[in-house]
Structures are given as structure tokens and as C-alpha cells.
Amino acid sequence: LEQYVDQGDPCPARLGQAIRYSLLGPGKRLRPQLVLLAAEACGSSVQVALPAACAVEMVHAYSLIHDDLPAMDDDDLRRGRPSCHVQFDEATAILAGDALQARAFEIVAREIRPAEVAAACCAELARAAGAAGMVGGQADDLGAEQAGGGIAELESIHRRKTGAMLAVSLRLGALVASASRCDFDGLEAYGTKLGLAFQIVDDLLDLQGDEAQLGKRTGQDADRGKLTFPRLLGAPESRRRAERLVDEACQALGPLKGTTCGLEQLARYVVQRNH
């Protein structure tokens, strides 16, 4: 990430500082790990998957900057530090997010070989990050603060706002590894289950987590009237659901031919985590 983030001279200093601040801050790096582990599970190497892994983390970092803006969740704490717009200013934060997104696609296009695989990765990443994926999910997440909704609506929001970026991480790992159809399908099923479980746990941590451990404010979802799993199903049932989804995610790895213990460990961590 450190190597790919710097864009040389024409980048204004303050913008560059905001980009580095948000990208290199202490996140869990789950999405890039998914890219690397998927590539390994499909018989390729970490080295080959690194550009895609960094690109995915850049899109994620941009999504967090924008998610925290006053017009969205209005959160002042991220990864245990002031949110980007608090540390810098709103305009700089918006532009840092924009730049991170653009940089991600530049890296995929330039660094992934052959060109057909780079193009396929660009298309997948754009689809997952865009209006039919993460950004669309974010729009409906904000809309549901007023409109509310049931479990089907909530699942649809979570699958897009969070699940889409987790699923595409696995897909990019599979693409750079020239995975077989069977490996693709196994990873797709794993990613869909894991993505939903991940956001259910995020909702639970907002309700029950410790602000210092979490590095972000708690109780925000209830304050803003967010549609969440604990709100609709209660905390115990939400946790059971997340655990069941992770079991199913791990089962979906069965048909894969390569090593999948890292993916299994990561899925278990997703429900056990406290941040």
C-alpha cells in the first residue's frame, strides 16, 4: 500500500497527506487478505495478487472516508483516530476519497497482466463499487433511516453496501489466479455468506462493542435510526444468524482444490472479532 499510494509531484501536499492518513491508518485489511487468500486457494501466489489486493483496500478506504462525512453517517472517529474530514476538512476528505478510487483503477489497469485479466478485474471492481453494489447499498442505507424496512430490504442493503466489496475481493483473487469455474463458484458462495455475516457483526459491535477497542463511536446506528439486524431480530438471534452464515461459508469452500485454511480462519475471526 505504501508503495502504491504515492503518485508523485503533481499531487497537492495536503491532499496527499489525507490520502495517506486514511489509507495507511490501522485497519484490519480484511479485503486485501481475501484477495491474497483467494489467489492462493486457486493455486496462485500472493505476489501476483498484490496489486489487486491494494486496489481493493483503496476503494474500501475511500468508502470509509465518504461514509463518515456529515452528509452520510457524520462520524468523527475512525480506526481510533479523527475521521478524515475532522483531521483535515470536508472538501479535502471528499477529494481524498475520489483520488483513492481513481488510483485503485489505475493500479489494476497498469499492474495486472495479461491485459484481458486487468480489464476483467476493472469491470468487476467497478460493478461491485458502483450504483449496483456498494454505492447503491450506501444510498439505500441512508434512505432506510427514514423509510425503515423489513428483513429482505435489510439483507439487500447489507449485501450491496458491504458484501459486494468482500465478494469482489475474492473474485479478483480468483481472476488473477486464472481459477477454474468450480473454484470461482465455491469462492462466490463463501463470499456471499461471509459478507452478510460481516455486516451483521458490524451492527452488533455498534450496539454492544467497546468504543476504545472498536476505534469508532458506538450507538450510532440506533441514534441515526439505521435499519440493522439487531434492531429487527434482536442481538442474540443476529449473532446466531452470523454464526450460521460463517459455518455455511466454510462449507462452501469444500470443493476448492487449493489450500483454504486461511479463508476458514478469516471467516471464524469475522464472528469472533471485537473490532
Number of CB atoms found within 10 A of residue 182's CB: 12
140 lies in the binding site for Mg ion (CB under 5 A): no
In the complex with ligand IPE, the residue whose CB is nearer, 225 or 255, is 225
**What's the min distance (Å) between Cβ of 161 and ligand IPE?**
5
> Of 118-147, which residues contact ligand IPE (CB under 6 A)?
134, 138
Q: In the complex, which residue's CB is closest to ligand IPE?
A: 27
DSSP H/E element including 195: helix 181-208
> Of 197-216, which residues contact Mg ion (CB under 5 A)?
202, 206
SS3 82: strand
Report d(CA 104, CA 133) in Å as an integer.
Answer: 16
* Grid cell of 128 as nine digits: 461491485
Look at the chain and count its residues: 275
Peptide bond into 114 cis (omega under 30): yes
> Of 51-80, which residues contact ligand IPE (CB under 6 A)?
60, 63-64, 67, 73, 75, 79
**What's the min distance (Å) between Cβ of 199 and Mg ion?**
8
183 lies in the binding site for Mg ion (CB under 5 A): no
**Cα–Cα distances in angstroms (integers) from residue 105 to residues 82, 109, 164, 166, 244, in the given order:** 27, 6, 17, 17, 35
In the set 22, 27, 52, 263, which binds ligand IPE (CB under 6 A)?
Answer: 27
199 lies in the binding site for ligand IPE (CB under 6 A): yes
8 A C-beta contact, residue 49 and residue 35: yes
73 lies in the binding site for Mg ion (CB under 5 A): yes
225 lies in the binding site for ligand IPE (CB under 6 A): no
* Grid cell of 218 as nine digits: 458506538
**What does the binding site for ligand IPE look like in residue numbers (CB under 6 A)?**
27-28, 30, 60, 63-64, 67, 73, 75, 79, 134, 138, 161-162, 199, 202, 206, 216
**What does the binding site for Mg ion look like in residue numbers (CB under 5 A)?**
67, 73, 202, 206
